[in-house]
């Protein structure tokens, strides 16, 4: 997050684009953490169903919001797209490591 703020030194459009990409990915990874926390005590089969369904819904929402942000706003598309992809991948890897550690404890 702090690194994304440094892009404001390159211009407001690039700074807003990078910050928007990072925040959009953070919202969707945080929603995954909420799903995991809310249903972690559920039956394994139910949890898997909910987790995969929520992943599909989040993916569709990401595509819709991604399209809306690029279509409606005047942000720099390249910086937004690259920052979103990098941030989403990093946060998703962190999420998988976190889930793996929790499952190993159980």
User: Is 10 a residue whose pLDDT tops 60?
Assistant: no
As a whole number of angstroms, the distance between CA 50 and CA 46 comes to: 6
Residue 23 confidence (pLDDT) = 80
Q: State the total domains in the chain.
A: 1
Q: Residues 11-20: what's their mean pLDDT?
A: 72
Q: What is the DSSP letter of 41?
A: T
Question: For 3-7, which contacts have Cβ atoms below 8 Å and span 24 or more sequence positions?
Answer: 4/83, 4/87, 7/79, 7/83
pLDDT bin (cut points 50, 70, 90) of residue 8 is low
Encoded tokens for 46: 């139910």
User: Is 102 a residue whose pLDDT tops 80?
Assistant: no
| Full residue range of the structural domain in which residue 73 is found | 2-105
**Residues above pLDDT 90, as percent of the chain:** 0
Whole-number average pLDDT of the chain: 77
């Amino acid at each position: 997050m702090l690194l994304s703020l440094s892009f404001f030194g390159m211009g407001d459009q690039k700074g807003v684009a990078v910050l928007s990409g990072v925040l959009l990915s953070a919202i969707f990874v945080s929603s995954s953490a909420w799903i995991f926390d809310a249903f972690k005590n559920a039956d394994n089969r139910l949890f898997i169903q909910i987790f995969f369904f929520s992943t599909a819904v989040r993916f569709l929402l990401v595509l819709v919001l991604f399209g809306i942000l690029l279509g409606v706003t005047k942000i720099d598309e390249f910086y937004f797209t690259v920052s979103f992809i990098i941030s989403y991948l990093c946060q998703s890897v962190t999420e998988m490591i976190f889930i793996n550690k929790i499952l190993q404890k159980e």
